[in-house]
Structure 1
Amino acid sequence: MKIMQNAAAAAVLVAMVALTGCGVTNDHDKVIKDVVSNRQFLYQAPGDGNATLQIVRANGYFGGGCSSQVMVDDKFAAQLETGEQATLYVPSGAHTVSLRNSGACHTVSSDAHVDTNLAAGESTVVQVNKWGSSLSLAKR
């Protein structure tokens, strides 16, 4: 009988510890941060005649184990985690932005690329979903 009481008390304790923090709120799903400098590889500084390409990966707990490798014209430009953005200063003209994933999920959908044509001084936003599996141009 004593063993069953101890087992029940232990189960209640484990459940309480597991649920600790479930009622805590934070800004995890609201805040988008700039990618850290050691994960942005290309197009870091603005130049004459450049256009601005902002890549924003949606926030969320799902997809947190997946890193999105952002490719611009088949060149590895940045690596984004959930809730991060990178501002790329690209030469004006036509560009293809695509994704490759690393980490827990390696699959990317077949539509994981967008084409854009930017004039000097123009800017556009490309959105990556929270899983890092698809891209879309933001509505203007």
Structure 2
Amino acid sequence: MAAAMAAAVLAGCGVEGNHDSMIRDAVANRVFLFQTPGAGDATLQVVRANGFFGGGCSSQIMIDDKFAAQLETGEQVAFNLPTGTHVVTLQNSGACRKPGDDARVELSLQPGESALAEVNKWGSSLSLAKR
């Protein structure tokens, strides 16, 4: 019985369906800061890539050393940030590899500007998308 259950679980890990290609919004109870827009704010969208690798870990998004959100694979969140320079850092928990030197970005935002930061599917690196 246990062997059949293990085989069923492992069989599901390698199958890619529609769920594995869609990006969805992070659940509200895992988004903590920068959700209320203010006059002159800029927008930072953070997207964690999808895939069955990295499914056993969570990515913590820190903005200016504050815990802003927790993302699972295939999730995204948008932050309303005051204009100026911000440091976005990736930390993780669970089965993820520990982030390396490429888990921190600095960005400078102007009023009304939008930026996109991407977390890889393993939760081990963070990069800014080219504008």
Shorter-chain TM-score bucket reads 0.7 to 0.9
Task: Find the partner of 1:53 among 24, 44, 58.
Answer: 44
Q: What is the 5 A alignment of 1:109-128? A: 109-128=100-119
Q: TM-score, normalised on structure 1?
A: 0.82
What corresponds to 2:128 in structure 1? 137
Q: TM-score when scaled to structure 2?
A: 0.87
After superposition, the Cα gap between the structure-2 partners of 1:18 and 1:50, relative to the gap in structure 1 and judged at 3 Å, is closer
Aligned to 2:66: 75
Percent of paired sites with the same residue? 62
Per the alignment, residue 89 of structure 1 pairs with 80
Runs of 4+ displaced beyond 3 Å? 16-25
> Structure 2 vs 1, CA of residues 18 and 119 (structure 1 numbering), >3 Å: closer, same or farther?
closer
How many residues align? The count is 127
1:71-94 CA-partner distances (Å, limit 9, x unpaired): 001100000000000100011100
CA contact (8 A) 2:97 2:122 kept: no
1:39-97: CA deviation from partner (whole Å, max 9, x where unpaired): 00000121111100000000000000110000001100000000000100011100010
In structure 2, what is the Cα distance between the partners aligned to 1:48 and 1:60?
Answer: 37
Aligned mates of 1:116, 1:18 — CA distance in 2: 41
Contact kept in structure 2, 1:100 and 1:106, CA below 8 Å = no
Gaps of 5+ in 1: 1-12
RMSD: 2.4
Seen in structure 2, the aligned counterparts of structure 1 residues 29 and 52 have a Cα distance that, compared at 3 Å, is same
* Structure 2: segments with no counterpart, 5+ residues: none
Task: Return the index of the structure with the highest Cα Rg.
Answer: 1
Answer yes or no: is the 8 Å Cα contact 2:97–2:123 preserved in 1.
Answer: no
